[in-house]
Amino acid sequence: MFVKKLKDGVVGAVTMFSLLWAGTVSAEWGLNMTPGVTPISREVYDLHMLILYIVTAIGIIVFGVMFWSIIYHRKSKGAVAKQFHHNTFAEIAWTIIPILILVAMAIPATKTLIKMEQTGDAEITVKITGYQWKWKYDYLEDGLSFYSVLAQDSNEARQVGSSIDPAGVDHYLLDVDEPIVLPVGKKVRLLTTAADVIHAWWVPALGWKRDAIPGFINDNWAVIEEPGTYRGQCAELCGKDHGFMPIVLKAVPEAEYVAWVEEKKAEAAARAASGDKEYSMEELMVNGEDLYNKNCASCHMANGQGVPGVFPSLLESQLTITSEGLAEHIDRIINGKGLMPAFGEQLSDADIAAVVTYERNAWGIDTGDIVQPADIKAAR
C-alpha cells in the first residue's frame, strides 16, 4: 500500500511538472525587477543591480572560504584548531571593510533618493486622493477632477456567487473605469493624500510608491518616456476592499493628452448642466444601477442584501422601503454616517438622484419614489 501511494505521488508530481513545462499552467517567470519607463525607475533598477552584484560577490567569497575551510581543515585530515583569543588586524579588517562597502552602496542610493525629492519645474500637477475604495484625480492646472474605481466586469466577477470565471475577464482586478492619463516626455508632479484611512499609490513602472495619508501630502514626480498602459494597486492594507482598488495609468503623446483634457472638460460641463434636468424613472434606474454597482455594491452587495452585522441590508432598511425615510435616505448618501462615507462631494446632484431612485425601486422594493436633481440640490 505504501509503495502504491508513493508511486501515485511520484506520477502526480511528474504530471504536474509536465503541465507546467508545457505551458498548460502559465505563470510569470520573471526573476528580477523591471527597468520601468521613467529616469528614476531606471536609476532604481541600476542601483538594485549594483547592490545585487556586491552582495553576490560577498556571498561567494564568504561561503567559498567557509566551504574551503570545512573541506581542507577537517578532522579526518588531522587538522587541529589553533587556539587564540585576540587578533588586532582581523578585528580592524572586519570593521573597516564592511564600513567601506556600506559607504560605497550608500553614496549612489542617497543620490537617487535626493533626485526623487526634486519635484520642482513640473509642467503638470496631479493630486491623488485615496478613498475606501477608489482613487480621485485632480488635475490642478486644468481644473479637472474625476474618480477611478474597479472596472465593472471585474467587480461583477469578484462578487460571491457570481458564477463568472475570473480567467475570462481581461486584467481581472487590475482594470478601472477611468484611468489616469498623462503625457509622455513631460515632468509631472504627483501629490498623494487620503480622505479616510492610509492608502498607498503604487505603479511599479514609475519606480516608486507613495503613502496616501489623511491630512498630509506626499509628493513625487515622473517623466514617462514610453507611451503605454501601466498598472498598479493600492499597496497599503486599507480595509475590506483593499484588493479591489487598482490603478491604471495611460501614457499618451502630448497631442492626444490635450485632446483628452478637452474631452473631459466637455464631460464636466455636461454633468453640471444635468443638474437642471428632469429625468424619467427609466433614465434614473439605468444610471442609478451603474452608479450603485460602482460605489455601493462593494458594501451593500449587488443584490442590496448587505453584509450581516457590518453593512445593513437595503431590502430591510426603513430608509429605503418607506416613503417616510426618503429625506433621511438622501441625507445619508450626501453626508454619510458611521462606516457609510459621504458621497456629497463625490457624486453630482443627478448622480445622487439616480442612486436614491434606484435603491428605492430595485430588487422588488418598488416604492415608486422618483428623486430629481432639484430634490438633491434642495437637500444640500
Q: What is the tens place of the pLDDT at every residue in 259-312?
A: 999 999 988 888 777 777 888 999 999 999 989 988 888 788 888 888 887 888
What pLDDT, on the 0 to 100 scale, is given for residue 11? Answer: 44
For residue 142, give the nearest of 55, 266, 23 by alpha carbon. 266
pLDDT category at 109 given cuts 50, 70, 90 is: very high
In a domain, 369, yes or no: yes
Same domain for 293 and 213: no
Same domain for 279 and 263: no
**Residue range 98-109: mean pLDDT, rounded:** 92
What pLDDT, on the 0 to 100 scale, is given for residue 29? Answer: 64
Same domain for 293 and 215: no
In a domain, 118, yes or no: no
Residue 324's CB is within 10 A of a number of other CB atoms, namely 10
> Which letter does DSSP use for residue 85 in this model?
S
In a domain, 117, yes or no: no
Same domain for 128 and 266: yes
The string of pLDDT tens digits covering residues 327-351 is 999 999 998 887 788 888 888 888 9
- d(CA 124, CA 222) in angstroms, rounded, equals 10
Answer for the pair 34, 46: CB distance below 8 angstroms, yes or no: no
Answer for the pair 302, 291: CB distance below 8 angstroms, yes or no: no
Query: For the chain, what is the total number of helices (H) and then of strands (E)?
Result: 11, 10
Answer for the pair 242, 273: CB distance below 8 angstroms, yes or no: no
**Which CATH number belongs to the domain containing residue 217 in this structure?**
2.60.40.420
For residue 181, give the nearest of 228, 219, 236 by alpha carbon. 228
- C-alpha Rg value of the chain to the nearest Å: 29
In a domain, 115, yes or no: no
pLDDT category at 17 given cuts 50, 70, 90 is: very low
**Residue range 13-38: mean pLDDT, rounded:** 60
Position 67 pLDDT exceeds 90 = yes
Range of the domain at 316: 275-379
Amino acid, single-letter form, for residue 9: G
Cell for 16? Answer: 504536474
Q: What is the DSSP string of 41-90?
A: HHHHHHHHHHHHHHHHHHHHHHHHHHHHHHHHT-GGGT------S--HHH
Same domain for 373 and 333: yes
Choosing from 211, 237, 271, the residue where a domain stops is 271
Same domain for 186 and 265: yes
In a domain, 33, yes or no: no
Same domain for 375 and 357: yes
Choosing from 271, 300, 325, the residue where a domain stops is 271
Domains held by the chain: number: 2
The string of pLDDT tens digits covering residues 148-197 is 999 988 988 888 778 888 888 999 999 999 999 999 999 999 999 999 89
**Which CATH number belongs to the domain containing residue 341 in this structure?**
1.10.760.10
Choosing from 221, 255, 271, the residue where a domain stops is 271
- d(CA 225, CA 31) in angstroms, rounded, equals 24
